[in-house]
Amino acid sequence: MTEKTHKTIEQAEQEGKYIRKVRSFVKREGRLTKGQERALTDHWQDMGLNHADGLIDAKSVFGNDNPVVLEIGFGMGKSLVEMAKAAPELNFIGVEVHKPGVGACISYAVEQEVKNLRVYEHDAIEILADCIPEKVLSTVQLFFPDPWHKKKHHKRRIVSLAFVETIRQKLKLDGVFHMATDWENYAECMLEDMQNSPGYENLSQTNDYVPRPESRPLTKFESRGHRLGHGVWDLQFKRVS
C-alpha cells in the first residue's frame, strides 16, 4: 500500500518485479447494465480521469479554481452525485474500483446534469500516490469503507496511519478529512489512527465523533446499515500543519 513506486502493480509485475500488496478491495467483475455501459462509452471523455495521465491540474480539469472534494469508494455514486448537484460552487472527484458503480455514477450525473464531477475507475491508493498533487484538496470523503470485519482481514482496511498521513499531505491547510462508518470497531480504529497522526485537529466538540453533517446525504450502504439496526459514526479532522 505504501510502496514508493509510480508504477501500477500490473506494470511492475510485467517487468518481473514482485510487489506484495494488500488491497482494500476484492475486484468483483459484475456485469454492466446497458445504461452503465452506454454512460461509460458516451461520457468517459468528459467525465473520466485516467490513472495513466499522472498528476492532475485541477484548474485545467474543471476550468475553474473552485475548491476540490475527493471521495474515495463512492459505490454506485448516488450520494456523490447528489452532493455535487447541491454544491455547484465545489469541484468533486470520485474514485471507485467497481466498474458498474462508475458507470452508474456517470449515468446518474448525466441525468442530473451535474457538471462539477470527474471520476477515476482505479485503486484510490494509486490515485493518491500518482495523480493528486500535495495541498490541493479542500475535503476528502471516505464513507462506509469496507469494514473487513474479521480480525485476520483488518490489514485490508483502507484506513491506517500511513493512509491518513497521505491524506493529510493532499489536503490544503484547513482542509477536512471526513470519514463515516457503521462498524463500531472500525470507527474506534479510525479515531485512534487520527489521534496518533500529527498535523490534524479533531472537529468533534467531544473529541471523538461528530453528528452527521447536513452536507452528507444518506448513502446506499448507510441505509442498509440503518435497516440492520447499525449505529453510524462520523469523524471530521482538519489539517492544521
Ligand X SMILES: C[S@@+](CC[C@H](N)C(=O)[O-])C[C@H]1O[C@@H](n2cnc3c(N)ncnc32)[C@H](O)[C@@H]1O
Rounded to the nearest whole angstrom, what is the least distance from the CB of residue 190 to ligand X in the complex? 14
**Which residue has 442530473 as its cell numbers?**
112
182 is an interface residue for ligand X by CB under 6 A: no
Dihedral, CA atoms, 236, 167, 128, 173, nearest 10 degrees? 100
d(CA 33, CA 94): 20
233 is an interface residue for ligand X by CB under 6 A: no
Q: Is 42 annotated as a binding residue?
A: no
Dihedral, CA atoms, 39, 44, 45, 47, nearest 10 degrees? 100
Please tell me which residue in 57, 146, 174, 234 is annotated as part of the active site: 146
221 is an interface residue for ligand X by CB under 6 A: yes
Does residue 146 carry a catalytic annotation? yes
Residue among 140, 92, 94 at smallest CA distance from 115 = 92
d(CA 135, CA 116): 20
143 is an interface residue for ligand X by CB under 6 A: yes
- By CB under 6 A, the count of residues binding ligand X is 23
103 is an interface residue for ligand X by CB under 6 A: no
Q: Is 220 annotated as a binding residue?
A: yes
Q: Is 37 annotated as a binding residue?
A: no
Rounded to the nearest whole angstrom, what is the least distance from the CB of residue 212 to ligand X in the complex? 12
First to last CA, the chain: 24
DSSP 149-201: -SGGGGGG-S--HHHHHHHHHHEEEEEEEEEEES-HHHHHHHHHHHHTSTTEE
146 is an interface residue for ligand X by CB under 6 A: yes
d(CA 155, CA 159): 9
Residue with smaller CB distance to ligand X, 201 or 230: 230
Q: Is 59 annotated as a binding residue?
A: no
Residue with smaller CB distance to ligand X, 162 or 173: 162
Q: Is 96 annotated as a binding residue?
A: yes
d(CA 207, CA 229): 25
Q: Which stretch binds ligand X (CB under 6 A): 36-44, 46-54, 93-101, 163-171?
A: 93-101
Q: Which residues bind ligand X (CB under 6 A)?
A: 24-25, 72-75, 95-98, 101, 123-125, 143-146, 158, 219-222
Annotated binding site: 71, 96, 123, 146, 150, 182, 219-222
